[in-house]
Structure 1
Amino acid sequence: MANYYYQQRDFSRAVDTFETVLSDYPDAKFLDVILFNYGRCLYRMNRRSEAGRRFDQLIQEFPESPLASDAKKISDALSRLNRPKPTPAPGDGDATKGAAKGAGD
């Protein structure tokens, strides 16, 4: 049912259903697929940190899954997106502007 909601782009209902399946059926077949699609839903809902945790869970619990490689790539990309951007030091931008301006004189 969760995959149906995912295909219909009803991500909120899909996430609720994935959560229910994971809690009620922890030994279900295809948990790697469930975790992968759960992560995709969370990503589509802009819940990137949670999505990354689901992909990481898949990698840890199912390292031999055919989905583990894709989950690793997505998790790495999400980590880069979630990393805070460095703040430039005061005056950094001014020095390059002056150097470029003086170079053309």
Structure 2
Amino acid sequence: MHDSQVFFELLSENTSKEVWADSAYRSEENEWMLKAGGYRNRPLNKRAQQSNRRKSRIRARVEPVFGSMENEMGGLFIRMIGRARAKTKIGLMNLVYHLKRCASLWKSRQ
């Protein structure tokens, strides 16, 4: 179960009036409940925006790789005995991802 489904149960343990959440938690119901509960929807300050921008550049390059492995290759849960076998499986998953990416880029050029 995703924690956005139990958002207000988690929020009930919050001792602060600040809530930091990403877009997975955004819905009309959540917005209404946050306003009713006295939580304010404030924009990020300049420093937090810069930090977020720096992290976003990395995430934008990394998350599609893990998303592809999770959705198309059976996930990232490795059930192996031995580190060498696990490293080999992860290496092969990386290789398959890059081969698929190369094929996709090659196809788009033609």
TM-score range, shorter chain: under 0.3
Greater relative contact order (CA < 8 Å, ≥ 6 in sequence): 1
Q: TM-score, normalised to structure 1's length?
A: 0.27
Q: TM-score, normalised to structure 2's length?
A: 0.26
